[in-house]
Amino acid sequence: MDPTQIGAAGAIVTGGASGLGAATVAHLAERGVRVTALDLPAGIEKARQGGTLPPGVEYVGVDVTDETAVQQAVQEAAERAPLRVAVNCAGICPSARIVGRKGTHDGALFAATLQVNLVGTFHVLAHAATAMADNEPVDQDGQRGVIINTASVAAFEGQVGQAAYAASKGGVHSLTIAAARDLSSLGIRVNSIAPGVVWTPMMEAINEDFRTELEARVPFPPRFARPDEYARLVGLLVDNDYLNGETIRLDGGLRMPPR
């Protein structure tokens, strides 16, 4: 999408109050995009109290597993500005072995992980695409919008204890090309980003030794990715009209070992 046109657009970002989502919200808002950020109410309130919510962004408390709430939030966002961009960052990352010391993997936990990471992503993708289909094309190719999902390197190299997470992110990866093909006739592109290790609030609880060990696994640069690097890749995917149906790894060349 032409960078000169994106400033007149609207965007939805899920998980928008922290981590990858917050960085993406800030990046798009700086470009003049009218952003609607979806997150759980508690997450939005925590960010508000911490003074980390950028001005000019509409924050809406939504659980992405609630399709009705997602549909309403998308419709309201599209009324504020033509919805051209949707970015799925909401997700959870539980850890449990299929058979571990505490017994068999909790089936409810497995299902809940898929509900948030995969089904939630689909809810936003489907309803954002419905809104984008009503847009006027921005170019001679007929482009109406772009949707960006968040997969993970776990989709390709799931580690011990990541059965639920890897399955959910593998689903996001597989969904990407199918959705891109489904929506091609409407002029809507779909891509995914598969991050490796990223320094987000979720990682701040790990000890320094484990952090050093994780960083040493990354070929180059040997460090955690920064959320703003994810956000800038979102911007690239928005701008480059010929990127479609792809899952792009953002991992510094990292290939995860079994554990």
Query: Tens of pLDDT along 180-216?
Result: 999 999 999 999 999 999 988 777 767 788 788 888 8
**Burial annotation 7-19 (CB, 10 A radius, 16+ → b, else e):** eebbbbbbbbbbb
Residue at 232 is within a domain: yes
Q: What is the pLDDT of residues 20-66, one digit of tens each?
A: 999 999 999 999 999 999 999 999 999 999 888 888 999 999 999 99
Residue at 105 is within a domain: yes
Ranges of H-type helices in 102-259 = 107-114, 120-132, 163-183, 208-216, 227-239
Between CA 64 and CA 98 the distance in angstroms is: 26
Q: Does the annotation mark 165 as catalytic?
A: yes
What CATH number does the domain containing 226 carry? Answer: 3.40.50.720
Number of domains in the chain: 1
Residue at 77 is within a domain: yes
Residue at 258 is within a domain: no
Residue 6 is predicted with a pLDDT of: 60
Average pLDDT, the chain: 94
Residue 201 is predicted with a pLDDT of: 74
Residue at 213 is within a domain: yes
Residue at 220 is within a domain: yes
Between CA 248 and CA 60 the distance in angstroms is: 28
Residue 204 is predicted with a pLDDT of: 74
Residue 78 is predicted with a pLDDT of: 97
Residue 59 is predicted with a pLDDT of: 97
Evaluate whether 149 touches 246 at the Cβ level (below 8 Å).
Answer: no
Active-site option among 59, 165, 230, 242: 165
Q: What is the pLDDT of residues 129-172, one digit of tens each?
A: 999 999 999 999 999 999 999 999 999 998 999 999 999 999 99
The token pair at 62 is 């939504």
CA 27 to chain CA mean position, Å: 14
* 3 has pLDDT over 90: no
Report field, pTM of the whole predicted structure over 0.85: yes
* 1 has pLDDT over 60: yes
The token pair at 247 is 């899952």
Residue 144 is predicted with a pLDDT of: 97
Between CA 151 and CA 89 the distance in angstroms is: 9
Q: Domain of 243?
A: 3-250
* 116 has pLDDT over 70: yes
